[in-house]
Amino acid sequence: MKDIAISINEVALDYPRKKKGVGLLREIITGRIKKTPRKDRWFRALNGINLEVNRGEVIGLMGPNGSGKSTLLRVMAGIYAPDEGSIEVEGRITLLAGIGTGFNQDLTGRENIKLSGSIFGFDQKSIQEMEEGIIEFSGIREFIDDPIRTYSAGMRARLGFAIISNLEPDVLLLDEVMSVGDHEFRKKSRARIDELVQGDATVVIVSHSKSILKSMCDKVYGIREGKIVTDGELESAFEFYESDKE
């Protein structure tokens, strides 16, 4: 029996409905937020999620916008703490969410490689050893010393995936990034994920693309209104997704 890489038990998470940022903080500090019934202040983004992912599996999550896919990924990454339930993730976790997320736009590509490596706990020697491989994989060597703000969306996506996938993750979380870039880079990215899985890494992919999920995933789960509503079988998830769009 395989080891469990991700174990999620009855996880629930609430988001504030209207107030956010400074306005929400001010209400919490002053206590005025308590005067409003909870159901009017919050909505349940995740609602009783149960999921186990084996080490070395590639799992897909799909569903309509606002269904909770990205929120669940961020709970796995430890960015959000659940309001109810528990989650355990084994090993080093890396998350790539959106194009260029986490980059300092004023730093060069090379400087962002070093910054990302240090954020994930690598020392300078280790980062230098990885740097050449990251640059080569990204395919943007001639632009690597230009500021990130001058990069196209595709270039940022290439560099982001090259960095994250070369940080030796035990758990790799990808949020709507596999469809960015040209055909050759997507092919190379899929091959890189295969290498990681062969090395016992676990991968979770959020995507609207049936072709990407079908070609890469062992299981795919449909999500609606913060709940997992399919059993992991690819076809049942795809049928749910198509019917949910109608």
Give whichever of 15-24, 98-107, 162-171 has the largest mean pLDDT. Answer: 162-171
Q: What is the 3-state secondary structure (H, E, C) of the chain?
A: CCCEEEEEEEEEEEEECCCCHHHHHHHHHHCHHHHCCHHHHEEEEEEEEEEEEECCCEEEEECCCCCCHHHHHHHHHCCCCCCEEEEEECCCEEEEECCCCCCCCCCEHHHHHHHHHHHCCCCHHHHHHHHHHHHHHHCCHHHCCCEHHHCCHHHHHHHHHHHHHCCCCCEEEEECCCCCCCHHHHHHHHHHHHHHHHCCCEEEEECCCHHHHHHHCCEEEEEECCEECCCCCHHHHHHHHHHHHC
118-168, pLDDT tens digit by residue?
Answer: 988 899 999 999 999 999 999 999 999 999 999 998 899 889 989 988 888
All structural domains of the chain: 56-81+91-245 (3.40.50.300)
Identify the pLDDT of residue 56: 93
pTM of this prediction?
Answer: 0.83
- Residue 31 confidence class, pLDDT cut points 50, 70, 90: low
pLDDT at 86 over 80: yes
49-82, pLDDT tens digit by residue?
Answer: 999 999 999 999 999 999 999 999 999 999 999 9
Mean pLDDT of the chain: 87
